[in-house]
């Protein structure tokens, strides 16, 4: 019985931890700005997970600031074979996380 309680507790701790710092945030109204609608951000997230994960796993938005993402995307756009419109959506998602 004690074992069950302990494992239930550690399971809920794990769940809590993973909810505190998800690697890929879920876009919400708090992330929306004049240049990035909720729809843009949801599309950008889906594109990031779809197009940027085949070679090295999709990168966390926390990795770079906007200048850094711009130069990384200069290198990665041809590798991922994405259009300028897709790149723009991914860029919006990468730069709209509120920390």
What residues between 52 and 81 interact with ligand HEC by CB under 6 A?
A: 52, 54-56, 59, 63, 72, 75-76, 79-80
Q: What is the DSSP letter of 53?
A: S
Q: What is the CA radius of gyration of the chain?
A: 17
Determine the size of the site formed for ligand HEC (CB under 6 A). 14
Dump strand ranges (E) for the chain: none
The nearest distance, CB 20 to ligand HEC, in angstroms, is 23
Q: Is the dihedral of CA 62, 65, 68, 74 positive or negative?
A: positive
User: Given the rule CB under 6 A, which residues bind ligand HEC?
Assistant: 51-52, 54-56, 59, 63, 72, 75-76, 79-80, 82, 90
């Amino acid at each position: 019985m004690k074992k069950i309680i302990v494992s239930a507790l550690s399971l809920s701790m794990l769940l809590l931890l993973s909810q505190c710092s998800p690697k890929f945030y879920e876009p919400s109204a708090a992330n929306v700005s004049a240049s990035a609608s909720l729809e843009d951000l949801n599309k950008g997230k889906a594109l990031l997970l779809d197009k940027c994960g085949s070679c090295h796993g999709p990168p966390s938005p926390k990795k770079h600031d906007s200048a850094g993402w711009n130069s990384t995307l200069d290198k990665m756009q041809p590798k991922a074979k994405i259009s300028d419109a897709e790149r723009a959506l991914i860029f919006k998602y990468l730069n709209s996380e509120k920390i």
